Structures are given as structure tokens and as C-alpha cells.
Amino acid sequence: MAATAASKHPRRLFHGFVSDELCKELEFIHRSCGTVGYRPSVFSTTLPHLAATNCAHLILPFLPLRDRLKDTVEEAFGCEFELFVEFTGLISWCKGASIGWHSDDNKPYLRQRDFAAVCYLNSHKKDFKGGLFHFKDGEPSSIAPAAGDVVIYTADERNIHCVDEVMDGERLTLTLWFTRDSAHDEDAKLMNLLPQRLQHGPNSFLPFPASSSMYWFSQDESGFDVRCARVRRLGYDFCSLEDNSSEHDSSCDPSELLDGRLCLGRGDEVLDKEFVNSLHALQVVQFCYWKASELATAKEVHYERSARLSILKRTSNSENSVPCNYRLAAEVLGGISDDDIELPFSWDDLILGNARWEEYMSKLSENLSILIPHWLSNQTLSFVNPADLNI
């Protein structure tokens, strides 16, 4: 009987729960802010990490979905108690990542987890190979991730599950766990980090990188910085302007160069614009990738009015010296080799994209400044349209 089956394995699968546009926006956030994750071949972007790297404004796009998931879980499982979000994170699994049979509350430090929600942000076969999800018993028994679909289930032994090894590409999810225990409320943690943001002022939307070890992916004595790998994947690289590079202290850790001012290069050219650090440049490049088709149609109109930035010839001094194994990066992040990277956009698109990135970030940042005092007084991070707050 259906009712018995549902109570034996309380779970639900929803198709088309997350819009394509939001899937792409969250992918942009992950590819421009993510760090190396807690398991091999995994990258993650958590909300506290965004707050800690001066990107708290990038929490806003998560919130309406986060609220909707909480309501859906409470309703689907008939919760007569309040739920708290314990964890919200973008998680990507690359070649070689998998997880065997488990329940999500199966460690002493995970006992507080009552429910899970996994939102698939990209699709099996199209974006990655392998990575199918299976429940040990009950229906549905297997899920081929498709962008926009969401599976929710109880975190206990009624929903033992596993994920097949990812064979190629990057499998991206937004994963949330919910708890009845207010001591594990993620909002409370975030609330402690947000007031710092108010001190920086509403126009402070430039990212601060975390420690360079958080971006270092290592495997078998080799490795790469995920920020370098991700700009490289879109055809660019970080470089310094010639005059600056001669001043670098050769004894310093090359990864620390990624914390300071740098430029973007492509082939033998360098754009004459300094970004405050690698995360800033990476965000602009990833933003252009996200908005590539919009930028391609908008640029004719734009160039009649805008002043162009110049493109310089690269010199040997401008190479950055972070020792990345790009072959390993290409293997881990997707089957694109160094020789056949497709360039999705031109310098012109990048210049226009940089202006659009500033508009996007400053709007989010302004909204965040309106919302923080409201959140602090309510002690919860639920989504409200800033225009309705009448401040």
C-alpha cells in the first residue's frame, strides 16, 4: 500500500523545483567562490564561507529557495515542530568522487540531522558522466540528476543511499540538512558573521580570499589552485603587470600572489586593468561565462558610449608563478584538454561583463545592507523583498 511504503521510506522527488536561471546563478557563485571540499575530488561553497570572504551579499540568491525547501520538507513530512537549517552548501563532485551506502545522520557529530534536501543544479550525461543516486530500498530506487530536480528524504536509516562514482565533468548540487535542534541553527552562525559586513559599508562588495590552502587541490604529490584552474578553463590566466612582478619577494609563497593585485591575460595579451585579487578577477570571468549570450547581444550598443580599456602585449615577467598542474586540473574538472579550450567570450565581452558584474554585486550589496538589520532583529535569515521593508 502506498501509505505504508511512504512511511517505511519517507522521501519525495520533485521535478523542475529550481528554475534554470537560478541553477546557473548558483553555478556562477560556486565557480567563483568555491574551495576544495571535505572529501577527495569535491569542491564546496558554504554560506559561512561566503560571509567570511566578504561575499555575504551572494547569500541572497539562495534565500528564497532555502525558505521554499524548508516549507516543502515541513509539509511533506508533516512536521509538527519547527525546523532549522543546519547546513546549506553548493557541492560539486568531480572525476573519482563517490559515496557508498550511508544514512546522513550516521556519525556521532551528524546525529542532529533530521532531513536532507538535494537540489540538482546540472544534469547527468549533459554535464557529467556517472554520479547516479540510489536508495537501497523502496521507490524511487535510482535518480539520474537533472537540473532543477530536488529529492528530499529523512536523514535516518529508512533512507540508506549511495552515489556512483563520477566518471567525467563536475556534478553540482545545492545540499541542505534540516534539524529540530536549535543549537545547530545555521542562521545563528551566520548572524554572528554579518554585522562585520555593515562596518565595511554598502559598497564593499570586493571579495577577500580565504587562506590559499583552502583553494589548493592536491593529488599524488601534485596539485593546482582551483582559482587558477577555473580562469584557465575559460581561456584566461592571472598575471602581474611587468613593473610589479620584479618587486615580488622571491622567498614568498607564490600562492600569496593570488591575494594581491593582478591582471587577466589571454594568449600573448593582457588587459590593462588591475583586479584587487584573484577572487575578484575570477568572479568577473565567471560572470562573463554566466552572461555570455547576453553580453554578445548587448555589446554593439555599449561600445558607442563607453571608453575602452587597452590590451597590452604580454612580457615574460608578467607570468604568474603559482605551480599549478593544469593537466591534472583539466582531468579533475572536466574532459577539456589545454589544446581545445573553447573561448566563450572576447576581451570586449569581458570589459562589458566587468561593468555588469559591478552593477550585479552593488545591487546585491545594497539589498544586503537593508536586510541585515531586519535579520538581526528577527534572529532569522528568511527572505524579504528589500523594497517591502520601507526603510
**Cβ 162 to ligand AKG shortest distance, Å:** 7
**Cβ 286 to ligand AKG shortest distance, Å:** 22
Rank residues 110 and 311 by Cβ distance to Fe ion and give the closer one: 110
Rank residues 99 and 296 by Cβ distance to ligand AKG and give the closer one: 99
**Cβ 258 to ligand AKG shortest distance, Å:** 29
Rank residues 113 and 266 by Cβ distance to ligand AKG and give the closer one: 113
Which of ligand AKG, Fe ion, none interacts with 244 (beta carbon under 5 to 8 A by kind)? none
Rank residues 57 and 161 by Cβ distance to ligand AKG and give the closer one: 161
Can residue 117 be called a binding residue for ligand AKG (CB under 6 A)? no
**Distance in angstroms (rounded) separating the CA atoms of residues 386 and 367:** 6
Which of Fe ion, ligand AKG, none interacts with 173 (beta carbon under 5 to 8 A by kind)? ligand AKG
DSSP code string of 89-103: EEEEE-TT--EEEE-
**Candidate list 27, 104, 149, 170; residue touching ligand AKG; CB under 6 A:** 104
**Distance in angstroms (rounded) separating the CA atoms of residues 51 and 57:** 8
Site for ligand AKG in 138-177 (CB under 6 A): 161, 163, 173, 175
Q: Which three cell numbers stand for residue 302?
A: 555599449
Segment contacting Fe ion (CB under 5 A): 34-42, 100-108, 175-183, 330-338?
Answer: 100-108
Residue 266: strand pairing partners:
269
The CA-based angle 162-165-169, given to 5 degrees, is 130
Rank residues 120 and 275 by Cβ distance to ligand AKG and give the closer one: 120
**Candidate list 13, 99, 336, 370; residue touching ligand AKG; CB under 6 A:** 99
What is the maximum alpha-carbon separation in the chain?
74
Instruction: Annotate 151-172 with b (16+ C-beta within 10 A) or e (fewer).
Output: bbbbbbebbbbebbebebbbbb
CB 37 within 8 A of CB 170: no
CB 151 within 8 A of CB 12: yes
In the bound state, the residue with its beta carbon closest to Fe ion is: 104
The CA-based angle 64-152-59, given to 5 degrees, is 30
**Distance in angstroms (rounded) separating the CA atoms of residues 94 and 40:** 9
Rank residues 49 and 57 by Cβ distance to ligand AKG and give the closer one: 49
Binding mask 171-210 for ligand AKG (x = CB under 6 A): --x-x-----------------------------------
Backbone angles phi and psi of 157, in degrees to 5: -70, 0
Rank residues 101 and 303 by Cβ distance to ligand AKG and give the closer one: 101
**What is the crossing angle of helices 347-378 and 292-303, to 10°?**
110
The CA-based angle 286-237-22, given to 5 degrees, is 10
**Distance in angstroms (rounded) separating the CA atoms of residues 103 and 157:** 5
**Distance in angstroms (rounded) separating the CA atoms of residues 338 and 361:** 31
Rank residues 133 and 205 by Cβ distance to ligand AKG and give the closer one: 133
Segment contacting Fe ion (CB under 5 A): 5-13, 102-110, 243-251, 364-372?
Answer: 102-110
Which of ligand AKG, Fe ion, none interacts with 118 (beta carbon under 5 to 8 A by kind)? ligand AKG
* Contact positions vs ligand AKG (CB under 6 A): 99, 104, 118, 133, 161, 163, 173, 175
* Contact positions vs Fe ion (CB under 5 A): 104
